[in-house]
């Protein structure tokens, strides 16, 4: 007789995109599936994200006539990841590449609407095998009302239901005052909002749309989703994970998992103690954009039964601004558009400001080993402020309250600005003079900003000869503090090509799987392209569920080579 208070075939810890993809795989086979979420909201960090998934050789690319092959994608990953150990072993890379198109086909058959992020290039387009056309797909805009009462239980990024736009439209929305395409993109987005408002819809975009569609598909197929049910311990019997102990309604339940437990509850971005222990200093959990529930519970549960870990010192880094009120926000176009530089406390530049966010985050910490660069400072001039948006600020509008809050420093001269932000004034002046010469010639002789298609994706095509370089010469001047923020951590439990959790001796722990930021990333210490966080998370969740239920054949293996 079982001593479990509840039993399921597969128990999934975490209700983000990875957990819900796995739930859908299990439910599709008519098996029992239980998703446990410790908070009162579904979606985790996935719901706060842009919802992109980097999935090479996907069916949407083929339907659009965009060439891509597994061989090309493999060469690209080999070129940019390098040897980072078993987290990104050849077997795991191959499993990801082979399953990526299968996942897209599976989601489409399951009713999840996906669209191509057309033209959003890989982040290292100059490397062998890279795609300039883009390998990212994202969730289509959907009406949240279809979720019924579950809509109120969805974790939604602020603004996700305000302007229904796609990721590929973000650069153009920054150019509404500069280009015809930018202007008409803004018109199209506002018309989209107006039309859906007339229909009394609640438009969901990005990660909110992805989670909503996955949740709806799971609920239709009978997946159980329990909110406010944190997992406190894994149950091990005869050297196999047999279930979990979870807290529900103020009591502890023993929940059996006949075919396996999948840990997909994110990383430890919001766990201050773990960040101080594992990450470079200075560090703060408040600089992260991960969900507040991202506290490393599943990683610690795995470690408690002997699971190995890797890449614990790394994260999905990115230069971040702290908005008034202390909320962190990634900076993409602000640092990439002409008329902007990032400097350390000596006043010197130290990176290509238009590079991918993970690369820039690494550069901040590397620089900080020699010169104080935390915080660094994003410096712009009045041309930048008049032409382009700055996070939540419209072009040309800089309320005094924003300056008084300290979010933006403003000064009539570079020397005065340097004094306000504690940067060497002579160093800043020399840096700006040198940068302005680069802007005139169109060649960044120090860091090659604007040389790649990814750099130019967030540039201003009206600025010649380089869309990412513009002189900083029009007062008043502005500066905002830049911190090494992140989308979440990328180190965690070590897993194999089936997403089975491994011990230090490389043997699998029977019955235990993990995916997403709970694991050490297959992407190593880099970031191949837009959506690779969720792309890898959902692919390995898909593989984990298939392995747990004994479906090791999957879809057709016929992929274009």
For residue 234, what pLDDT is reported? 98
Per-residue pLDDT band for 170 (boundaries 50, 70, 90) equals: confident
For residue 226, what pLDDT is reported? 98
**Residue 453 belongs to a domain:** yes
The CA distance from 70 to 297, in Å, is 35
The 10s digit of each residue's pLDDT in 385-403 is 999 999 989 999 899 999 9
Tell me the torsion sign for CA atoms 81, 86, 88, 93: positive
DSSP per-residue string spanning 437-455: HHHHHT--TTT-TT-SHHH
DSSP per-residue string spanning 331-364: -SHHHHSSSEEEE-TTS-B-S-TTS-HHHHHHHH
Q: Is the pLDDT of residue 557 over 80?
A: no
Q: Are residues 412 and 521 in the same domain?
A: no
Residue 401 DSSP class: H
The CA distance from 275 to 281, in Å, is 9
| Residue 405: φ, ψ to 5° | -70, -20
DSSP per-residue string spanning 296-312: -HHHHHHHHTTB-EE-T
Q: Are residues 335 and 271 in the same domain?
A: no
The 10s digit of each residue's pLDDT in 308-328 is 999 999 999 999 999 998 889
CA 6 to chain centre: 34
Average pLDDT over residues 198-211: 89
* Residue at a domain's end among 485, 502, 535: 485
**CA-to-CA dists, residue 141 to 189, 211, 362, 521, angstroms:** 11, 12, 33, 28
Q: Are residues 285 and 143 in the same domain?
A: yes
CA 521 to chain centre: 12
Q: Are residues 452 and 474 in the same domain?
A: yes
CB 204 within 8 A of CB 136: no
333: CB partners within 8 A, 6+ apart:
170, 171, 174, 388, 389, 458
- Among 116, 122, 117, residue whose Cα is nearest residue 75: 122
Per-residue pLDDT band for 185 (boundaries 50, 70, 90) equals: confident
Q: Are residues 290 and 438 in the same domain?
A: no
The 10s digit of each residue's pLDDT in 281-308 is 999 999 999 999 999 999 999 999 999 9
The 10s digit of each residue's pLDDT in 420-475 is 999 999 999 999 999 999 999 999 999 999 999 999 999 999 999 999 999 999 99
**Residue 558 belongs to a domain:** no
Average pLDDT over residues 139-145: 92
CB 328 within 8 A of CB 286: yes
* Residue at a domain's end among 485, 500, 527: 485
Per-residue pLDDT band for 242 (boundaries 50, 70, 90) equals: very high
- Among 177, 208, 168, residue whose Cα is nearest residue 49: 208
The 10s digit of each residue's pLDDT in 468-521 is 999 999 999 999 999 999 999 999 999 999 999 999 999 999 999 999 999 999
Which domain, by its residues, includes 173?
162-201
| Residue 360: φ, ψ to 5° | -65, -40
**Residue 239 belongs to a domain:** yes
For residue 116, what pLDDT is reported? 95
What pTM did the predictor assign? 0.94
**Residue 4 belongs to a domain:** yes
CB 418 within 8 A of CB 514: no
**Residue 303 belongs to a domain:** yes
The CA distance from 184 to 222, in Å, is 43
The CA distance from 399 to 107, in Å, is 45
For residue 65, the tally of other CB atoms under 10 A from its CB is 7
For residue 196, what pLDDT is reported? 79
For residue 90, what pLDDT is reported? 96
For residue 164, what pLDDT is reported? 84
* Residue at a domain's end among 470, 485, 500: 485
Average pLDDT over residues 137-146: 93
For residue 527, what pLDDT is reported? 96
Q: Are residues 238 and 380 in the same domain?
A: no
Q: Is the pLDDT of residue 238 over 80?
A: yes
For residue 392, what pLDDT is reported? 87
Cis? peptide before 375, omega within 30° of 0:
yes
Per-residue pLDDT band for 558 (boundaries 50, 70, 90) equals: very low
Q: Are residues 449 and 352 in the same domain?
A: yes
Q: Are residues 153 and 171 in the same domain?
A: no
The CA distance from 334 to 170, in Å, is 12
Q: Are residues 219 and 105 in the same domain?
A: yes
Q: Are residues 477 and 506 in the same domain?
A: no
Percentage with pLDDT > 90 across the chain: 87
The 10s digit of each residue's pLDDT in 57-116 is 999 999 999 999 999 999 999 999 999 999 999 999 999 999 999 999 999 999 999 999
Q: Which CATH number belongs to the domain containing residue 413 in this structure?
A: 3.90.700.10
145: CB partners within 8 A, 6+ apart:
151, 200, 201, 202
32: CB partners within 8 A, 6+ apart:
7, 8, 9, 10, 26, 224
**Residue 561 belongs to a domain:** no
**Residue 559 belongs to a domain:** no
**Residue 560 belongs to a domain:** no
Q: Is the pLDDT of residue 540 over 60?
A: yes
The 10s digit of each residue's pLDDT in 334-374 is 999 999 999 999 999 999 999 999 999 999 999 999 999 99
Q: Is the pLDDT of residue 153 over 60?
A: yes
The CA distance from 300 to 277, in Å, is 13
User: Angle, nearest 10°, between helix axes 70-81 and 90-109?
Assistant: 130
Q: Which CATH number belongs to the domain containing residue 516 in this structure?
A: 3.50.50.60
Per-residue pLDDT band for 189 (boundaries 50, 70, 90) equals: confident
Extended beta strands in 172-223, E state: 203-204
For residue 556, what pLDDT is reported? 35
Q: Are residues 472 and 522 in the same domain?
A: no
Instruction: State the total domains in the chain.
Output: 3
Average pLDDT over residues 175-186: 88
Average pLDDT over residues 229-253: 96
For residue 159, what pLDDT is reported? 56
The kind and range of the H/E element at 237 are: strand 231-237
For residue 161, what pLDDT is reported? 56
Q: Are residues 355 and 406 in the same domain?
A: yes
CA 544 to chain centre: 21
For residue 167, what pLDDT is reported? 84
For residue 107, what pLDDT is reported? 98
For residue 554, what pLDDT is reported? 45
The 10s digit of each residue's pLDDT in 118-140 is 999 999 999 999 999 999 999 99
- Tell me the average pLDDT of the chain: 94
For residue 349, the tally of other CB atoms under 10 A from its CB is 22
The CA distance from 422 to 161, in Å, is 39
Average pLDDT over residues 142-153: 94
The CA distance from 27 to 220, in Å, is 9
Partners of residue 405 on adjacent β-strands: none
């Amino acid at each position: 007789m079982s001593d479990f208070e509840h039993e399921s075939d597969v128990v999934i810890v975490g209700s983000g995109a990875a957990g819900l993809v796995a739930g859908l795989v299990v439910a599709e086979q008519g098996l029992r599936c239980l998703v446990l979420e410790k908070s009162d909201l579904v979606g985790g960090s996935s719901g706060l994200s842009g919802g992109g998934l980097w999935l090479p050789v996907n069916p949407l690319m083929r339907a659009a006539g965009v060439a891509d092959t597994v061989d090309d994608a493999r060469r690209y990953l080999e070129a940019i990841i390098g040897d980072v150990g078993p987290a990104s072993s050849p077997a795991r890379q191959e499993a990801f590449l082979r399953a990526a198109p299968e996942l897209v086909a599976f989601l489409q058959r399951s009713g999840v609407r996906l669209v191509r992020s057309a033209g959003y290039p890989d982040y290292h387009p100059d490397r062998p095998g890279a795609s300039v056309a883009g390998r990212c797909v994202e969730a289509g805009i959907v009406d949240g009302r279809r979720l019924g009462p579950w809509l109120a239980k969805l974790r939604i990024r602020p603004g996700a239901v305000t302007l229904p736009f796609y990721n590929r439209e973000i650069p153009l929305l920054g150019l509404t005052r500069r280009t015809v395409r930018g202007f008409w993109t803004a018109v199209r987005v506002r018309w989209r909002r107006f039309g859906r408002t007339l229909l009394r819809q609640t438009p969901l975009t990005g990660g909110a749309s992805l989670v909503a569609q996955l949740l709806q598909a799971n609920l239709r197929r009978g997946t159980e989703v329990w909110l406010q049910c944190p997992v406190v311990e894994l149950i091990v019997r005869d050297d196999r994970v047999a279930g979990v102990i979870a807290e529900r309604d103020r009591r502890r339940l023993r929940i059996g998992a006949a075919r396996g437990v999948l840990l997909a509850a994110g990383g430890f971005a919001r766990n201050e103690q773990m960040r101080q222990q594992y990450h470079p200093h200075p560090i703060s959990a408040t600089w992260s954009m991960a969900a507040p529930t991202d506290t490393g519970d599943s990683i610690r549960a795995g470690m408690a039964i002997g699971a190995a870990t890797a890449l614990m010192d790394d994260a999905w880094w990115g230069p971040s601004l702290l908005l008034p009120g202390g909320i962190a926000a990634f900076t993409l176009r602000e640092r990439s558009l002409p008329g902007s530089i990032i400097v350390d406390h000596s006043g010197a530049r130290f990176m290509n400001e238009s590079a991918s966010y993970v690369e820039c985050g690494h550069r901040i910490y590397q620089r900080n080993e020699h010169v104080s660069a935390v915080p660094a400072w994003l410096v712009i001039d009045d041309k930048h402020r008049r032409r382009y948006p700055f996070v939540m600020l419209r072009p040309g509008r800089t309320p005094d309250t924003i300056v008084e809050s300290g979010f933006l420093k403003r000064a009539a001269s570079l020397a005065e600005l340097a004094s306000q932000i504690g940067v060497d004034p002579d160093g800043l002046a020399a840096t700006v003079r040198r940068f302005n010469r680069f802007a005139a010639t169109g060649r960044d002789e120090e860091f090659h900003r604007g040389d790649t298609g990814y750099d130019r994706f967030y540039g201003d095509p009206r600025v010649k000869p380089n869309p990412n370089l513009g002189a900083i010469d029009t007062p008043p001047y502005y500066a905002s503090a830049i911190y090494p923020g992140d989308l979440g951590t990328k180190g965690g439990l070590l897993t194999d090509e089936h997403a089975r959790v491994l011990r230090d001796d490389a043997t699998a722990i029977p019955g235990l799987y993990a995916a997403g930021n709970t694991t050490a990333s297959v992407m190593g210490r880099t970031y191949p392209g837009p959506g690779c966080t969720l792309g890898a998370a959902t692919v390995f969740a898909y593989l984990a569920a298939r392995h747990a239920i004994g479906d090791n054949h999957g879809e057709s293996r016929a992929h274009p080579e």
